[in-house]
Structure 1
Amino acid sequence: MTEHDYEPIPGLPGLLPPGERIVWQGAPDWRALARRAYHTRAVTAYFGVLGAWAVIAAVARGIHGPGDLSGVALTAMFGIVAVGLLRALAWGAARTTLYTLTNRRVVLRIGVAFPKCINLPLAVIGTVGLAVQGDRSGDIPLALVGERRLGYLALWPHARPWHVAAAQPMLRALPDAAQVASLIARACLEVQPGGQVAVPVTSAAQGHGLRQAVAA
Protein backbone atom coordinates (compact mmCIF):
# COMPACT_ATOMS: atom_id res chain seq x y z
CA MET A 1 0.00 0.00 0.00
CA THR A 2 1.26 3.49 -0.88
CA GLU A 3 0.20 7.00 0.00
CA HIS A 4 -1.60 7.18 -3.35
CA ASP A 5 -3.99 4.39 -2.33
CA TYR A 6 -5.78 6.98 -0.19
CA GLU A 7 -6.55 9.26 -3.15
CA PRO A 8 -10.31 9.49 -3.76
CA ILE A 9 -9.50 9.45 -7.48
CA PRO A 10 -6.03 8.24 -8.59
CA GLY A 11 -3.87 11.23 -9.45
CA LEU A 12 -6.21 13.85 -8.01
CA PRO A 13 -6.16 15.54 -4.60
CA GLY A 14 -9.94 15.25 -4.16
CA LEU A 15 -13.23 14.41 -5.78
CA LEU A 16 -14.12 16.23 -8.98
CA PRO A 17 -16.54 19.13 -8.55
CA PRO A 18 -19.82 19.06 -10.46
CA GLY A 19 -19.35 19.55 -14.19
CA GLU A 20 -15.71 18.48 -14.26
CA ARG A 21 -14.75 15.22 -15.95
CA ILE A 22 -11.54 13.36 -16.66
CA VAL A 23 -10.50 13.48 -20.33
CA TRP A 24 -7.20 11.57 -20.11
CA GLN A 25 -4.72 10.11 -17.62
CA GLY A 26 -1.25 8.76 -18.23
CA ALA A 27 2.30 8.40 -16.93
CA PRO A 28 5.83 8.58 -18.32
CA ASP A 29 7.55 5.60 -19.87
CA TRP A 30 10.37 5.02 -17.39
CA ARG A 31 12.92 3.94 -20.00
CA ALA A 32 12.37 7.09 -22.06
CA LEU A 33 12.43 9.15 -18.86
CA ALA A 34 15.77 7.58 -17.91
CA ARG A 35 17.28 8.49 -21.26
CA ARG A 36 16.04 12.07 -21.46
CA ALA A 37 15.67 13.32 -17.88
CA TYR A 38 18.39 11.27 -16.18
CA HIS A 39 20.70 11.14 -19.21
CA THR A 40 21.64 7.48 -18.83
CA ARG A 41 23.06 7.32 -22.36
CA ALA A 42 25.37 10.27 -21.71
CA VAL A 43 26.53 8.75 -18.42
CA THR A 44 27.13 5.40 -20.15
CA ALA A 45 29.17 7.14 -22.85
CA TYR A 46 31.15 9.03 -20.19
CA PHE A 47 32.16 5.86 -18.37
CA GLY A 48 32.84 4.21 -21.70
CA VAL A 49 35.39 6.91 -22.50
CA LEU A 50 36.93 6.55 -19.03
CA GLY A 51 37.12 2.79 -19.51
CA ALA A 52 38.79 3.16 -22.91
CA TRP A 53 41.29 5.60 -21.41
CA ALA A 54 42.04 3.14 -18.59
CA VAL A 55 42.65 0.36 -21.13
CA ILE A 56 45.00 2.56 -23.18
CA ALA A 57 46.89 3.55 -20.02
CA ALA A 58 47.21 -0.09 -18.95
CA VAL A 59 48.51 -1.14 -22.37
CA ALA A 60 51.00 1.72 -22.36
CA ARG A 61 52.35 0.60 -18.96
CA GLY A 62 52.41 -3.01 -20.03
CA ILE A 63 49.96 -5.64 -18.83
CA HIS A 64 51.64 -8.26 -16.66
CA GLY A 65 48.63 -9.63 -14.80
CA PRO A 66 45.02 -9.08 -13.80
CA GLY A 67 46.06 -6.42 -11.30
CA ASP A 68 47.12 -4.15 -14.13
CA LEU A 69 43.49 -4.04 -15.30
CA SER A 70 42.09 -3.07 -11.91
CA GLY A 71 41.48 0.48 -13.11
CA VAL A 72 39.38 -0.81 -16.00
CA ALA A 73 37.39 -3.05 -13.68
CA LEU A 74 36.74 -0.22 -11.21
CA THR A 75 35.64 2.11 -14.00
CA ALA A 76 33.24 -0.51 -15.34
CA MET A 77 31.87 -1.19 -11.85
CA PHE A 78 31.27 2.49 -11.08
CA GLY A 79 29.66 2.96 -14.47
CA ILE A 80 27.26 0.04 -13.96
CA VAL A 81 26.34 1.28 -10.49
CA ALA A 82 25.81 4.88 -11.65
CA VAL A 83 23.62 3.93 -14.60
CA GLY A 84 21.72 1.42 -12.46
CA LEU A 85 20.96 4.08 -9.84
CA LEU A 86 19.79 6.54 -12.49
CA ARG A 87 17.52 3.93 -14.05
CA ALA A 88 16.13 3.10 -10.60
CA LEU A 89 15.40 6.80 -9.99
CA ALA A 90 13.67 7.06 -13.35
CA TRP A 91 11.59 3.96 -12.59
CA GLY A 92 10.58 5.39 -9.21
CA ALA A 93 9.70 8.77 -10.71
CA ALA A 94 7.58 7.19 -13.45
CA ARG A 95 5.85 4.85 -10.99
CA THR A 96 4.80 7.70 -8.69
CA THR A 97 3.76 10.07 -11.49
CA LEU A 98 0.28 10.41 -12.90
CA TYR A 99 -0.77 13.16 -15.28
CA THR A 100 -4.47 14.02 -15.52
CA LEU A 101 -6.33 16.18 -18.02
CA THR A 102 -9.87 17.25 -17.22
CA ASN A 103 -12.11 19.65 -19.07
CA ARG A 104 -10.96 22.36 -16.62
CA ARG A 105 -7.34 21.71 -15.65
CA VAL A 106 -4.15 19.69 -15.96
CA VAL A 107 -3.02 17.98 -12.76
CA LEU A 108 0.50 16.67 -12.21
CA ARG A 109 0.78 14.20 -9.35
CA ILE A 110 4.53 13.93 -8.93
CA GLY A 111 7.21 13.29 -6.33
CA VAL A 112 8.87 10.15 -4.98
CA ALA A 113 9.91 11.19 -1.47
CA PHE A 114 7.50 14.14 -1.17
CA PRO A 115 4.41 13.54 -3.33
CA LYS A 116 2.39 16.55 -4.39
CA CYS A 117 -0.35 17.50 -6.83
CA ILE A 118 0.09 20.57 -9.03
CA ASN A 119 -3.15 21.99 -10.43
CA LEU A 120 -2.91 23.98 -13.66
CA PRO A 121 -6.23 25.54 -14.71
CA LEU A 122 -6.61 25.51 -18.49
CA ALA A 123 -7.14 29.27 -18.38
CA VAL A 124 -3.50 29.86 -17.30
CA ILE A 125 -1.94 27.61 -19.97
CA GLY A 126 -0.70 29.93 -22.70
CA THR A 127 1.13 27.48 -24.92
CA VAL A 128 1.06 23.71 -25.33
CA GLY A 129 4.25 22.41 -26.93
CA LEU A 130 5.16 19.00 -28.31
CA ALA A 131 8.63 17.50 -28.78
CA VAL A 132 8.60 14.02 -30.33
CA GLN A 133 11.66 11.77 -30.17
CA GLY A 134 12.83 9.02 -32.49
CA ASP A 135 11.10 6.34 -30.43
CA ARG A 136 7.78 8.20 -30.92
CA SER A 137 7.56 9.13 -27.26
CA GLY A 138 7.48 12.81 -26.48
CA ASP A 139 7.41 15.69 -24.03
CA ILE A 140 4.68 18.32 -23.65
CA PRO A 141 5.83 21.61 -22.07
CA LEU A 142 3.13 23.95 -20.81
CA ALA A 143 3.94 27.67 -20.80
CA LEU A 144 1.88 29.54 -18.22
CA VAL A 145 0.47 33.04 -18.44
CA GLY A 146 -0.32 35.47 -15.68
CA GLU A 147 1.48 35.96 -12.39
CA ARG A 148 1.58 32.34 -11.30
CA ARG A 149 5.15 31.05 -10.93
CA LEU A 150 6.36 27.53 -10.20
CA GLY A 151 9.78 26.54 -8.90
CA TYR A 152 12.02 24.63 -11.29
CA LEU A 153 13.43 22.34 -8.61
CA ALA A 154 9.95 21.63 -7.23
CA LEU A 155 8.88 20.46 -10.71
CA TRP A 156 11.99 18.56 -11.84
CA PRO A 157 12.13 16.22 -13.67
CA HIS A 158 8.69 17.36 -14.85
CA ALA A 159 10.04 20.73 -16.01
CA ARG A 160 11.19 21.98 -19.41
CA PRO A 161 15.02 21.94 -19.48
CA TRP A 162 16.88 25.27 -19.32
CA HIS A 163 13.76 27.28 -18.44
CA VAL A 164 14.73 27.99 -14.85
CA ALA A 165 13.64 31.59 -14.27
CA ALA A 166 10.21 31.00 -15.81
CA ALA A 167 9.77 27.30 -15.15
CA GLN A 168 7.42 25.42 -17.44
CA PRO A 169 5.69 22.24 -16.25
CA MET A 170 6.26 19.42 -18.70
CA LEU A 171 4.56 16.08 -19.21
CA ARG A 172 7.54 13.87 -19.94
CA ALA A 173 8.27 10.72 -21.89
CA LEU A 174 4.69 9.97 -22.90
CA PRO A 175 4.27 7.11 -25.40
CA ASP A 176 1.23 8.85 -26.95
CA ALA A 177 2.50 12.42 -26.63
CA ALA A 178 1.13 13.69 -29.95
CA GLN A 179 -2.39 12.55 -29.13
CA VAL A 180 -2.20 13.95 -25.58
CA ALA A 181 -0.88 17.32 -26.80
CA SER A 182 -3.83 17.52 -29.18
CA LEU A 183 -6.26 16.76 -26.35
CA ILE A 184 -4.73 19.43 -24.10
CA ALA A 185 -4.71 21.98 -26.92
CA ARG A 186 -8.37 21.37 -27.73
CA ALA A 187 -9.31 21.59 -24.05
CA CYS A 188 -7.44 24.91 -23.75
CA LEU A 189 -9.14 26.28 -26.84
CA GLU A 190 -12.55 25.41 -25.41
CA VAL A 191 -11.73 27.53 -22.36
CA GLN A 192 -9.94 30.24 -24.39
CA PRO A 193 -11.72 30.33 -27.75
CA GLY A 194 -9.56 33.21 -28.96
CA GLY A 195 -6.52 30.96 -29.26
CA GLN A 196 -5.03 29.34 -32.32
CA VAL A 197 -3.20 26.17 -33.35
CA ALA A 198 0.15 26.70 -35.04
CA VAL A 199 1.29 24.60 -37.98
CA PRO A 200 3.89 21.96 -36.94
CA VAL A 201 7.46 23.05 -37.61
CA THR A 202 10.84 21.37 -37.30
CA SER A 203 13.21 22.33 -34.52
CA ALA A 204 16.64 22.06 -36.10
CA ALA A 205 18.38 22.64 -32.78
CA GLN A 206 16.77 19.61 -31.16
CA GLY A 207 16.12 17.52 -34.25
CA HIS A 208 12.48 16.73 -33.65
CA GLY A 209 9.05 18.07 -34.48
CA LEU A 210 7.59 20.89 -32.46
CA ARG A 211 3.89 21.74 -32.43
CA GLN A 212 2.35 24.55 -30.45
CA ALA A 213 -1.23 25.38 -29.61
CA VAL A 214 -1.41 29.00 -28.55
CA ALA A 215 -4.34 29.52 -26.21
CA ALA A 216 -3.90 33.18 -25.41
Structure 2
Amino acid sequence: MHHDDFKFEPVRGLPEALPSDEYILWQGAPNPMRLAKDAWKLNWVLGYFAFLAIIRVIMVSPDMSLTAAMAQGLPFLLAGAVVAGLLIGVATVQARSTVYTLTNKRACMRIGAALTMTLNLPYVCIGNAEAAVRSTGLGTITFELIGDTRLSYLMTWPHVRPWHIRRTHPAFRSIPDVNRVARIFAEAAETRVSMPQVAPVSYPAAGGLAAE
Protein backbone atom coordinates (compact mmCIF):
# COMPACT_ATOMS: atom_id res chain seq x y z
CA MET A 1 0.00 0.00 0.00
CA HIS A 2 1.49 3.32 -1.01
CA HIS A 3 1.70 5.89 1.76
CA ASP A 4 2.66 9.51 1.27
CA ASP A 5 3.60 11.33 4.48
CA PHE A 6 3.08 14.66 2.74
CA LYS A 7 -0.17 13.96 0.89
CA PHE A 8 -1.78 16.89 2.78
CA GLU A 9 0.38 19.32 0.81
CA PRO A 10 -1.59 21.01 -1.98
CA VAL A 11 1.75 21.62 -3.70
CA ARG A 12 4.78 19.44 -3.02
CA GLY A 13 7.01 21.17 -0.50
CA LEU A 14 4.54 23.97 0.21
CA PRO A 15 1.86 24.23 2.91
CA GLU A 16 -0.69 25.93 0.65
CA ALA A 17 -1.53 26.46 -3.00
CA LEU A 18 0.37 29.22 -4.74
CA PRO A 19 -1.37 32.49 -5.61
CA SER A 20 -2.24 32.96 -9.27
CA ASP A 21 0.70 35.32 -9.81
CA GLU A 22 3.32 33.00 -8.25
CA TYR A 23 4.97 29.97 -9.85
CA ILE A 24 7.72 27.50 -9.08
CA LEU A 25 11.12 28.02 -10.71
CA TRP A 26 13.03 25.14 -9.08
CA GLN A 27 12.66 22.40 -6.52
CA GLY A 28 15.28 20.10 -5.07
CA ALA A 29 16.66 18.36 -2.00
CA PRO A 30 20.02 17.66 -0.37
CA ASN A 31 22.26 14.88 -1.62
CA PRO A 32 22.17 12.35 1.29
CA MET A 33 25.85 11.36 1.23
CA ARG A 34 27.02 14.95 0.86
CA LEU A 35 24.71 15.98 3.70
CA ALA A 36 26.21 13.24 5.89
CA LYS A 37 29.68 14.60 5.16
CA ASP A 38 28.82 18.29 5.51
CA ALA A 39 26.36 18.28 8.39
CA TRP A 40 27.27 15.12 10.27
CA LYS A 41 31.03 15.24 9.59
CA LEU A 42 31.09 11.68 8.31
CA ASN A 43 34.71 11.84 7.15
CA TRP A 44 35.86 13.12 10.53
CA VAL A 45 34.02 10.32 12.32
CA LEU A 46 35.60 7.69 10.08
CA GLY A 47 39.00 9.27 10.57
CA TYR A 48 38.55 9.26 14.36
CA PHE A 49 37.81 5.53 14.54
CA ALA A 50 40.62 4.77 12.10
CA PHE A 51 42.96 6.77 14.36
CA LEU A 52 41.84 4.76 17.40
CA ALA A 53 42.45 1.52 15.50
CA ILE A 54 45.96 2.59 14.48
CA ILE A 55 46.84 3.66 18.03
CA ARG A 56 45.60 0.32 19.36
CA VAL A 57 47.68 -1.63 16.85
CA ILE A 58 50.78 0.41 17.70
CA MET A 59 50.29 -0.09 21.43
CA VAL A 60 49.96 -3.89 21.28
CA SER A 61 52.35 -4.63 18.39
CA PRO A 62 55.47 -5.05 20.63
CA ASP A 63 53.79 -7.89 22.50
CA MET A 64 52.32 -9.93 19.62
CA SER A 65 52.56 -10.67 15.93
CA LEU A 66 51.50 -8.09 13.35
CA THR A 67 48.44 -10.15 12.43
CA ALA A 68 47.30 -10.40 16.04
CA ALA A 69 47.98 -6.70 16.58
CA MET A 70 45.89 -5.75 13.55
CA ALA A 71 43.07 -7.92 14.90
CA GLN A 72 43.11 -5.76 18.03
CA GLY A 73 42.27 -2.71 15.93
CA LEU A 74 39.41 -4.41 14.11
CA PRO A 75 36.73 -3.66 16.77
CA PHE A 76 37.38 0.07 16.36
CA LEU A 77 36.95 -0.19 12.61
CA LEU A 78 33.71 -2.13 13.05
CA ALA A 79 32.43 0.45 15.52
CA GLY A 80 33.30 3.20 13.06
CA ALA A 81 31.40 1.39 10.31
CA VAL A 82 28.31 1.10 12.53
CA VAL A 83 28.39 4.78 13.49
CA ALA A 84 28.96 5.79 9.87
CA GLY A 85 25.98 3.70 8.81
CA LEU A 86 23.80 5.41 11.41
CA LEU A 87 24.92 8.87 10.28
CA ILE A 88 24.27 8.04 6.63
CA GLY A 89 20.83 6.72 7.60
CA VAL A 90 19.94 9.90 9.50
CA ALA A 91 21.18 12.09 6.65
CA THR A 92 19.16 10.05 4.15
CA VAL A 93 15.96 10.47 6.19
CA GLN A 94 16.61 14.20 6.47
CA ALA A 95 17.29 14.55 2.75
CA ARG A 96 14.17 12.63 1.75
CA SER A 97 11.93 14.71 4.02
CA THR A 98 13.35 17.99 2.70
CA VAL A 99 12.10 20.01 -0.25
CA TYR A 100 13.76 23.28 -1.23
CA THR A 101 11.71 25.53 -3.49
CA LEU A 102 12.37 28.71 -5.42
CA THR A 103 9.42 30.64 -6.81
CA ASN A 104 9.34 33.99 -8.51
CA LYS A 105 8.65 35.58 -5.11
CA ARG A 106 10.35 33.57 -2.38
CA ALA A 107 12.60 30.77 -1.26
CA CYS A 108 10.85 27.99 0.68
CA MET A 109 12.17 25.16 2.81
CA ARG A 110 10.09 22.20 3.92
CA ILE A 111 12.32 20.58 6.53
CA GLY A 112 12.13 18.17 9.45
CA ALA A 113 11.78 14.39 9.48
CA ALA A 114 9.88 14.03 12.77
CA LEU A 115 8.55 17.56 13.19
CA THR A 116 7.89 19.02 9.76
CA MET A 117 7.96 22.78 9.26
CA THR A 118 7.96 25.09 6.26
CA LEU A 119 9.98 28.29 6.09
CA ASN A 120 8.95 31.03 3.67
CA LEU A 121 11.71 33.51 2.86
CA PRO A 122 10.46 36.36 0.64
CA TYR A 123 13.21 37.78 -1.53
CA VAL A 124 12.66 41.24 -0.03
CA CYS A 125 13.74 39.77 3.34
CA ILE A 126 16.99 38.31 1.99
CA GLY A 127 19.84 40.80 2.10
CA ASN A 128 22.57 38.56 0.70
CA ALA A 129 23.18 35.03 -0.53
CA GLU A 130 26.37 33.01 -0.87
CA ALA A 131 27.00 29.83 -2.85
CA ALA A 132 29.70 27.36 -1.77
CA VAL A 133 30.46 25.10 -4.72
CA ARG A 134 32.44 21.85 -4.78
CA SER A 135 34.21 20.37 -7.78
CA THR A 136 31.40 17.80 -8.10
CA GLY A 137 28.82 20.55 -8.65
CA LEU A 138 27.26 19.93 -5.25
CA GLY A 139 27.12 22.84 -2.86
CA THR A 140 25.22 25.03 -0.45
CA ILE A 141 23.40 28.33 -0.88
CA THR A 142 23.20 30.40 2.30
CA PHE A 143 20.72 33.22 2.82
CA GLU A 144 21.41 36.19 5.05
CA LEU A 145 18.16 37.65 6.32
CA ILE A 146 17.54 41.32 7.00
CA GLY A 147 15.06 43.08 9.22
CA ASP A 148 13.63 41.61 12.41
CA THR A 149 13.24 38.07 11.08
CA ARG A 150 14.77 35.53 13.49
CA LEU A 151 14.99 31.76 13.10
CA SER A 152 15.89 29.11 15.66
CA TYR A 153 19.26 27.54 14.89
CA LEU A 154 18.35 24.25 16.57
CA MET A 155 14.93 24.00 14.93
CA THR A 156 16.30 24.59 11.42
CA TRP A 157 19.60 22.67 11.67
CA PRO A 158 21.14 21.22 9.50
CA HIS A 159 19.57 23.57 6.94
CA VAL A 160 21.64 26.51 8.18
CA ARG A 161 25.13 27.97 7.90
CA PRO A 162 27.18 26.14 10.56
CA TRP A 163 28.12 27.98 13.78
CA HIS A 164 26.10 31.13 13.03
CA ILE A 165 23.96 30.74 16.14
CA ARG A 166 23.27 34.34 17.17
CA ARG A 167 21.92 35.21 13.72
CA THR A 168 20.75 32.07 11.95
CA HIS A 169 21.37 31.93 8.21
CA PRO A 170 19.03 29.41 6.52
CA ALA A 171 20.58 27.42 3.71
CA PHE A 172 19.90 25.04 0.86
CA ARG A 173 22.42 22.41 2.01
CA SER A 174 24.32 19.98 -0.23
CA ILE A 175 22.20 20.44 -3.35
CA PRO A 176 23.18 19.24 -6.86
CA ASP A 177 24.00 21.70 -9.65
CA VAL A 178 24.31 24.53 -7.17
CA ASN A 179 25.62 27.03 -9.74
CA ARG A 180 22.45 26.75 -11.81
CA VAL A 181 20.25 27.07 -8.74
CA ALA A 182 22.20 30.14 -7.61
CA ARG A 183 21.61 31.78 -10.99
CA ILE A 184 17.88 31.04 -10.80
CA PHE A 185 17.74 32.57 -7.34
CA ALA A 186 19.76 35.65 -8.33
CA GLU A 187 17.60 36.40 -11.36
CA ALA A 188 14.32 35.86 -9.50
CA ALA A 189 15.41 37.88 -6.47
CA GLU A 190 16.68 40.75 -8.57
CA THR A 191 13.44 40.89 -10.52
CA ARG A 192 11.31 40.72 -7.40
CA VAL A 193 13.22 43.32 -5.41
CA SER A 194 13.35 45.79 -8.31
CA MET A 195 9.61 45.59 -8.98
CA PRO A 196 7.89 48.94 -8.32
CA GLN A 197 5.62 48.92 -5.30
CA VAL A 198 2.22 50.52 -5.90
CA ALA A 199 0.64 51.96 -2.75
CA PRO A 200 -3.06 52.82 -2.54
CA VAL A 201 -3.96 56.51 -2.37
CA SER A 202 -7.02 57.89 -0.60
CA TYR A 203 -8.63 60.73 -2.52
CA PRO A 204 -10.45 63.55 -0.70
CA ALA A 205 -14.19 63.86 -0.89
CA ALA A 206 -15.66 65.64 -3.88
CA GLY A 207 -14.95 69.34 -3.81
CA GLY A 208 -12.03 68.96 -1.40
CA LEU A 209 -8.36 69.65 -2.06
CA ALA A 210 -5.69 67.02 -1.92
CA ALA A 211 -2.80 67.86 0.40
CA GLU A 212 0.55 68.14 -1.29
Instruction: Please classify the TM superposition score into its range, dividing by the shorter chain length.
Output: 0.7 to 0.9
| Structure 2 residue 140 is matched with structure 1 residue 139 | yes
SS across alignment from 1:146: coil
Q: Deviations over 1:22-50 (max 9, x none)?
A: 11111111111111111111111111111
**2:23 alignment counterpart:** 21
> Structure 2 length as normaliser, TM-score?
0.86
Task: Specify the code of the residue in structure 1 equivalent to 2:64.
Answer: G
Contact 1:101 1:107 in 2 (8 A): yes
**Which sections of structure 1, spanning at least 5 residues, go unmatched?**
195-216
SS across alignment from 1:4: coil
Note the C-alpha offset of 1:97: 0.6
Q: Which whole-Å CA distance do the structure 2 matches of 1:114 and 1:161 have between them?
A: 21
**2:35 alignment counterpart:** 33
Of 38, 52, 55 in structure 2, the residue corresponding to residue 53 of structure 1 is 55
Q: Which whole-Å CA distance do the structure 2 matches of 1:89 and 1:3 have between them?
A: 17
**1:180 alignment counterpart:** 181
Note the C-alpha offset of 1:177: 0.6
Of 26, 41, 44 in structure 2, the residue corresponding to residue 42 of structure 1 is 44
Note the C-alpha offset of 1:63: 4.2
Based on CA coordinates, which of the two structures has the bigger radius of gyration? Answer: 2
C-alpha spacing 1:60/1:128, structure 2 compared with 1 (3 Å): same
Note the C-alpha offset of 1:70: 6.0
Q: Which whole-Å CA distance do the structure 2 matches of 1:97 and 1:146 have between them?
A: 26
Q: Deviations over 1:87-145 (max 9, x none)?
A: 11111111111001111111100111111111111110111110001222110000000
Task: List aligned pairs for 1:48-197, cutoff 5 A.
Answer: 48-63=50-65, 71-193=72-194
Task: Specify the code of the residue in structure 1 equivalent to 2:8.
Answer: Y
C-alpha spacing 1:158/1:65, structure 2 compared with 1 (3 Å): closer
Runs of 4+ in 1 over 6 A off after TM superposition: none
Note the C-alpha offset of 1:5: 2.1
Task: Specify the code of the residue in structure 2 equivalent to 1:186.
Answer: E
Task: Specify the code of the residue in structure 2 equivalent to 1:132.
Answer: V
SS across alignment from 2:7: helix
**Which sections of structure 2, spanning at least 5 residues, go unmatched?**
196-212
Count of residue correspondences: 193
Contact 1:128 1:184 in 2 (8 A): no
SS across alignment from 1:128: strand
> Structure 1 length as normaliser, TM-score?
0.84
SS across alignment from 2:194: coil
C-alpha spacing 1:159/1:65, structure 2 compared with 1 (3 Å): closer
Task: Specify the code of the residue in structure 2 equivalent to 1:51.
Answer: A
Q: Which whole-Å CA distance do the structure 1 matches of 2:67 and 2:148 have between them?
A: 66
Note the C-alpha offset of 1:65: 8.6
SS across alignment from 1:113: coil
RMSD: 1.7
SS across alignment from 1:141: strand
